[in-house]
Amino acid sequence: MKSNPAVFWLRQDFRTLRNNALSYASNNHDYVSAIYIFKKKDFEKKREAQKWWIHESLKNFKTELDKLNINLEIINLDSYQNFFEKYSKNHVSFYWNKIYEPNFLSFDEKISKYLQEKNINFKIFKGNILNEYKEVTKKDNTPFKVFTPFWNTAEPIYLKKEFRKEIPLKKTVKKIKILDTSYKIEDVLPKEKWFQKFKNYWDPSEKKGLELLNNFVKIRIKDYGENRDIPGVEGTSKISPYLSHGQISVETAWEICEKVKNKSRGYRKYVNELGWREFSHSLINYFPNMLKGNLRKEFDKFPWVKNSKHLKAWKSGLTGYPIVDAGMRELYETGWMHNRLRMITGSFLVKHLRIHWMEGEKHFRNCLLDFNEANNVAGWQWIAGCGADAAPYFRIFNPILQGEKFDKEGNYVKKWIPELKNIPKEFIHKPWEMNDKVQINFKIKIGKDYPSPLVDHSKARQEALQAFSKIKK
């Protein structure tokens, strides 16, 4: 046991279960401190909703760390290098888990060299992923761009690995304070009060994440194949923010799913979604330029439209298409949006309004509690048709038919758009078709109490196809 102190560098791993770096620190050092570096400028007006999640996570995780006798110290920094330089003087060892984003991985490489040169002890561990992305390639060692062959290769690689035994944390270590000043947890909170309603929907703790996952696997996974597309029912697991911030390790999710006896359609579909998460992480690391632009370069010529009025209406859930507006309002209210709605609202932005997918990506980044670079960028490029294995641009979701198919009774729309709560189901996805008499009957005036459609579906579809034909040439 080493008597020099260890720092567990807390990043996106607010968990005590399957936390490689924390476990290593606690088992190999007498003194351990957890340090969270809050890089304010990464969040300011970019990831506002996530400030709330991180704030709550810090509070909850502190309670868990206290039980282990580990201090949680927070610092607001813009340069990591100074940090290592300053604190290494006390012979501190540093441990952290990888984050699978190009910036983080190249930082690891750079800092590793620096720490080696300075003779500072450190170790970087596997992060929240099933396979290291470099483990999964085609036979000729090139990366996959299509999901099915990717997953057909990746899943057996993971299954062949012996399940890594959980290395429990040491019950208690000796408390130590490393930083000379510590930021207060409250300082992480956004200034705007918008986030306050999130607490009605979420409890950002490891315990809650595991509870959600266990309940889902026990009760709902069997029907996941059918229910995952119906936003009006609780058909999905809702563990995405817990995975993004690392309250749950994807290996734990996998292990819990493995216990399902009936590995039928629901189970298969669910583990495939965990596979899409792996695929997105592989894509952004093999093709880091997709974080800044189209993966398929022909889309660089696409005639996107700049229209701030349309963009604002989309963000505010006021496009006049109920299924689109319900999704956008769910996002703003809860910090989460159902996957089917991410596809419908995304498609509406890039195809009906022809606004650049990066505008949508930016808005989701700011509002989603589960935002992560890989899934968000890959999701948006999939919708826009410019990504890997993407939905072809010419396949344009009809927001009326999508509503009628996936929200038959209109329950989801009525939940998020109270103005429409009295509208009968035949009009719920096309309220503008109610004549004046019917509108009076249901005490609503379309165009006043709820907007008329921002664009006409058929016309917008034609225009989108025309625009697309320009880049096909």
Q: Which residues bind ligand FAD (CB under 6 A)?
A: 228, 236-240, 243-244, 273-274, 276-277, 280, 339, 342-343, 346, 364, 368, 370-372, 375-376, 379-380, 383
Q: Which helix (H) or strand (E) holds 224?
A: helix 224-227
Residue number closest to ligand FAD, CB atom: 379
Residue from 96, 314, 336, 357 carrying the catalytic annotation: 357
Residue from 276, 336, 382, 416 carrying the catalytic annotation: 276
- Minimum distance from CB of 239 to ligand FAD (Å)? 5
Residue 356 tokens, joined: 């650049």
Helix locations, 76-144, DSSP H: 80-88, 102-117
State which residue, 120 or 239, has the beta carbon closest to ligand FAD: 239
- Minimum distance from CB of 80 to ligand FAD (Å)? 24
Give CA 343 to chain center in angstroms.
14
State which residue, 243 or 434, has the beta carbon closest to ligand FAD: 243
- Minimum distance from CB of 158 to ligand FAD (Å)? 15
Residue from 194, 254, 304, 432 carrying the catalytic annotation: 304
9 is an active site residue: no
339 is an active site residue: yes
State which residue, 176 or 253, has the beta carbon closest to ligand FAD: 253
C-beta separation of 98 from 108 below 8 A = yes
C-beta separation of 295 from 381 below 8 A = yes
Measured distance CA(134)–CA(125) in Å, rounded: 15
C-beta separation of 241 from 201 below 8 A = no
333 is an active site residue: no
435 is an active site residue: no
- Minimum distance from CB of 4 to ligand FAD (Å)? 37
Measured distance CA(109)–CA(74) in Å, rounded: 24
37 DSSP 8-state letter: E
Of 366, 323, 361, 330, nearest to 345 (Cα)?
323
Measured distance CA(453)–CA(315) in Å, rounded: 15
52 is an active site residue: no
- Minimum distance from CB of 368 to ligand FAD (Å)? 5
State which residue, 46 or 459, has the beta carbon closest to ligand FAD: 46
State which residue, 144 or 276, has the beta carbon closest to ligand FAD: 276
C-beta separation of 432 from 348 below 8 A = no
State which residue, 93 or 240, has the beta carbon closest to ligand FAD: 240
Sequence-distant (6+) residues with CB within 8 A of 459 are none
Measured distance CA(89)–CA(287) in Å, rounded: 38
- Minimum distance from CB of 447 to ligand FAD (Å)? 29
Residue 315 tokens, joined: 């963000």
Measured distance CA(310)–CA(439) in Å, rounded: 25
Residue from 135, 273, 419, 463 carrying the catalytic annotation: 273
6 DSSP 8-state letter: E
382 is an active site residue: no
The residues assigned a catalytic role are 273, 276, 304, 339, 357, 380
